[in-house]
Structure 1
Amino acid sequence: MQRKIRVGVVDDHPLYRDGVVFALESEMDMEVVAQGETASDAYQIAIDHAPDVLLLDMNMPGSGINAVAKIALKCPSTKTLMLTVVDDEDEVRSVLRKGARGYLLKGTSSSELANAVRVVSRGQSYISPSFAAQLIMLRGAEDSDPKEATGRFPELSEREEQILLLIHRGLSNRLIGDEVGLTEKTVKGYVTNIMEKLHVRNRVEAAMIVAERTSGRIQ
């Protein structure tokens, strides 16, 4: 008899987690060996149960990204698969660099979830096809927009620079999200990264740097 794929599921929303567990347990070749709610739980599950695949929520308490990095370092035999509502290219790149093997959007079908677990369990990478198509569309739109970047902020990514320029215009995180098509929570993460990279403490100081580097040319 073929060995089942051993899976751990960590998400701080019990109803959603129960649904994921039910979907996986319905597959003949899978078994859920442990569940948790936080990044600390995820790490402990990796240590205690050594699942083949560990499904993690990106925004769970303690940070899914932090859990991925720690598990990749201490438990390399456990492959991590992110299951999240965050549909942002930079977030995907960040979590994959930290060691995640896959990235799957919440709302996906149970069949796609099972397929992703199988792919990741074999040591391959998996990104939701719907999200991969979205990335291609976004990349094409960005490349065709001459206003996307000014080149005056080499320490920032293009998306970070775009958000910085909107900070300079005085927009809130919510309004920035409406402008660029991101959630307010995702924008908040970008703003934190921008401040760290520019070594500033608040939005006012960030806006002052924009003013200094652009000599007031941004409208």
Structure 2
Amino acid sequence: MPPKIRVGVVDDHSLYRDGVVFALESETDIEVIGQGETASDAIQIAHEHTPDVLLLDMNMPGGGVNAVSKIALKYPSTKTLMLTVVDDEDEVRSALRKGAKGYLLKGTSSSELVNAVRLVSKGQNYVSPSFAAKLIVSRREEADPASMTRRFPELTVREEQILMLILRGLSNRLIGEELGLSEKTVKGYLTAIMEKLHVRNRVEAAMLASERVSEKR
């Protein structure tokens, strides 16, 4: 039997924290090994227990982003997953750039929370599709395919089309449906896009695309 995913939960709202702990401990492959309320508690848990995943409230005392940057520097084996009630794009970008591996709104379902913990524990990044769309580009704006071509000469036309859809927050399955491609083919294109743009994942690719679009507006 594989070892359980060791998780720490830090949130200054005890009722919410209890709910998260209950949801996680209901899973046979997850165990909660530490709880806290502040950024200092988060750093202490990382130091004393080295959890696989540390769930952090963005707005806890001491600052969630501050905790993320220190943990990423001192305890890189512990992956941080942010929880917040506010979908602030600047805060999300800051947390991801400082080392957070995932970002969830507190209204998410327990099944999505558990899925995110499992993915992050394996080294993958996680931002829920609906939230990724808000993070990457405003719902009021649509990137112009022609302008994307000018900004990404290193990509093929098809790769630019896929990047456009990533920018809009679509999953690989939905991108495939949009372009008439299999999900496996989309994954192959995504790998090529990440290599050419020198980014590690789809979130970073979309953030880069968003920044280049914004520069030209």
CA–CA distance in 2 between the matches of 1:30 and 1:131? Answer: 25
Q: Which stretch shifts more, 120-129 or 42-51?
A: 120-129
State the one-letter code of the partner of 1:21.
V
Residue in 2 that maps onto 1:210: none
The answer on 1:60 being equivalent to 2:60 is yes
CA–CA distance in 2 between the matches of 1:101 and 1:64? Answer: 13
Residue in 2 that maps onto 1:105: 105
CA–CA distance in 2 between the matches of 1:69 and 1:76? Answer: 10
State the one-letter code of the partner of 1:87.
D
Superposition deviation, residue 3 in structure 1: 0.5
CA–CA distance in 2 between the matches of 1:122 and 1:136? Answer: 24
Superposition deviation, residue 70 in structure 1: 0.4
State the one-letter code of the partner of 1:76.
P
CA–CA distance in 2 between the matches of 1:136 and 1:97? Answer: 14
The answer on 1:49 being equivalent to 2:37 is no
Q: Which runs of 4+ in 1 moved over 3 A?
A: none
Query: Where do 5+ consecutive residues of structure 1 fail to align?
Result: 145-219
The answer on 1:21 being equivalent to 2:17 is no
CA–CA distance in 2 between the matches of 1:97 and 1:137? Answer: 17
CA–CA distance in 2 between the matches of 1:63 and 1:32? Answer: 22
CA–CA distance in 2 between the matches of 1:136 and 1:46? Answer: 30
- Per-residue Cα deviation, 1:65-109 (whole angstroms, up to 9, x for no partner): 000000001000000000111202221111011100000110100
Residue in 2 that maps onto 1:211: none
Higher-Rg structure is 1
Q: Percent identity?
A: 80
CA–CA distance in 2 between the matches of 1:35 and 1:97? Answer: 25
CA–CA distance in 2 between the matches of 1:142 and 1:93? Answer: 20
How many matched pairs? Answer: 144
CA–CA distance in 2 between the matches of 1:44 and 1:135? Answer: 30
Report the CA distance shift for 1:47/1:86 in structure 2 as closer, same or farther (over 3 A).
Answer: same
Report the CA distance shift for 1:131/1:25 in structure 2 as closer, same or farther (over 3 A).
Answer: same
The answer on whether the counterparts of 2:89 and 2:135 sit within 8 Å (CA) in structure 1 is: yes
SS in structure 2 of the partner of residue 141 of structure 1: coil
State the one-letter code of the partner of 1:67.
A
- Per-residue Cα deviation, 1:173-195 (whole angstroms, up to 9, x for no partner): xxxxxxxxxxxxxxxxxxxxxxx
CA–CA distance in 2 between the matches of 1:13 and 1:135? Answer: 25
Residue in 2 that maps onto 1:88: 88
